[in-house]
Amino acid sequence: MHRNYPLVDSMIVTAQAPQGVYLPSSFMVDMQLIVPYVEGIDPARFFVSSIVRNATSFQVTIGYMTVDPGTSTADYGFDCAVSGAIPVDLVFGGESTDAEHTIPISAITTVPPATDNSYQYGIPADYAAMRGMRGSLYIGTCADMTNINAMKFRYQHSAIMQTCVYFESKEAGLESIRIVDSYTTNAKFTDDVTLTIGRGIKATVVGNEVRLDLDERAIVDKLNELLRTNGGIPIKRINGILPDAFGNFTLAGEDCTLITNQEAGVSISNPCSKPCCDQNGIDSAEVTQALTELLAAKDVLNNYYTDLATKVNLMQARLSSLIASRK
């Protein structure tokens, strides 16, 4: 025979609607509901108010009674939390895992209207702190729920779950802290703890909040220090051009431009047009003197050709006169 836990074990849990249908105890086998502290709240007033099925899943709704159920024949309270979707084909064993059987529970965020209704859906303003409740529900198997489409419960029908409700203390605070990293650190600290912020991390305190941010300036300085030690400062820009995502620049030669590597640099040359002589030792005065001499030689040649042309013209004229006199 199944036990009813996490519900009370006093009797078989039967539904208000449809009447006479009982809740299989194999369906919910464990539950944990964490409830923020609210003055006067009673763990014995939490109960499962409904279980609804759609085409592919079940959903469990949790309610809270705002008055002692023994003082009134009516239900005064509200639905305060719902489970996540519970697959209808979830069964114990086989290929299923604990993670698949663990269903989250979260508070209902709908705020009910201020009416005189005895039972409402959503957490009223007087219980606003309960909107921080959360928890988990462990499902055994849905195999015994195949003929159930919807079940609605009243508190008196024993769907009470007081043994799995846990309250957060109104004096709750940090009791311990465990530091775990991906190397070998795994240590738990209690009492007074001092956190020392290492280089590259900046801590900002605002009220009760401590914010940790990357200190970009410190990180850049550290990277530059490592680069100076291990390989020098990289080139950041060439003529204002940034490198690619890997920090590389591309130098592309066009036409007869040849780019070759040399120690600590590159060599750019033009193999298609080499000088005719060694330029070492030639200065501007020597070049000017050579140009002056070249221009003087040009003037001499010009004068020679001008004089030669004049003499040829005179010779042609005398020949013409001589030929004419002998006719």
pLDDT of residue 68: 73
Same domain, 36 and 139: yes
pLDDT one-digit tens code per residue, 15-70: 666 777 778 888 888 899 999 888 888 888 888 888 899 989 999 999 998 877 66
pLDDT of residue 173: 61
Same domain, 64 and 134: yes
Banded pLDDT at 137 (limits 50, 70, 90): very high
Same domain, 204 and 148: no
pLDDT of residue 82: 95
Same domain, 242 and 299: no
Domain of residue 109 covers 28-167
pLDDT of residue 1: 42
Same domain, 188 and 160: no
Residue where a domain terminates, one of 123, 147, 167: 167
Banded pLDDT at 84 (limits 50, 70, 90): very high
Closest CA to 31 of 128, 134, 122, 108: 134
The reply to whether 271 falls in a domain is no
Q: Which of 80-89, 218-227, 242-251 has the highest mean pLDDT?
A: 80-89
Whole-Å CA distances, 120 to 51, 63, 278: 16, 9, 102
pLDDT one-digit tens code per residue, 91-103: 877 666 778 899 9
Residue where a domain terminates, one of 251, 280, 309: 251
The reply to whether 82 falls in a domain is yes
The reply to whether 198 falls in a domain is yes
Same domain, 34 and 57: yes
Which residue bears the tokens 């859906």? 121
Banded pLDDT at 289 (limits 50, 70, 90): confident
pLDDT one-digit tens code per residue, 139-192: 989 988 888 888 887 766 556 777 688 887 665 566 677 777 777 878 888 777
Q: How far apart are CA 268 and CA 290, in angstroms?
A: 31
Banded pLDDT at 5 (limits 50, 70, 90): confident
CA gyration radius for the chain?
A: 48
pTM, 2 dp? 0.50
Hey, what are 262's tokens?
């040399």
pLDDT of residue 105: 95
Banded pLDDT at 12 (limits 50, 70, 90): low
Rounded to the nearest integer, the mean pLDDT of the chain is 80
Same domain, 321 and 204: no
Hey, what are 66's tokens?
């705002």
Same domain, 71 and 108: yes
Same domain, 188 and 153: no
The reply to whether 273 falls in a domain is no
pLDDT of residue 282: 60
Mean pLDDT within 187-205: 79
The reply to whether 188 falls in a domain is yes
Residues facing 120 on adjacent strands: 78
The reply to whether 285 falls in a domain is no
pLDDT surpassing 90 at residue 80: yes
The reply to whether 4 falls in a domain is no
Same domain, 133 and 189: no
Same domain, 92 and 38: yes
pLDDT of residue 72: 58
Mean pLDDT within 203-211: 80
pLDDT surpassing 70 at residue 283: no
Q: Considering its fold, how many domains does the chain have in total?
A: 3
The reply to whether 276 falls in a domain is no
pLDDT one-digit tens code per residue, 233-282: 677 788 888 888 777 888 877 777 888 888 878 888 887 765 555 555 56
Same domain, 121 and 54: yes
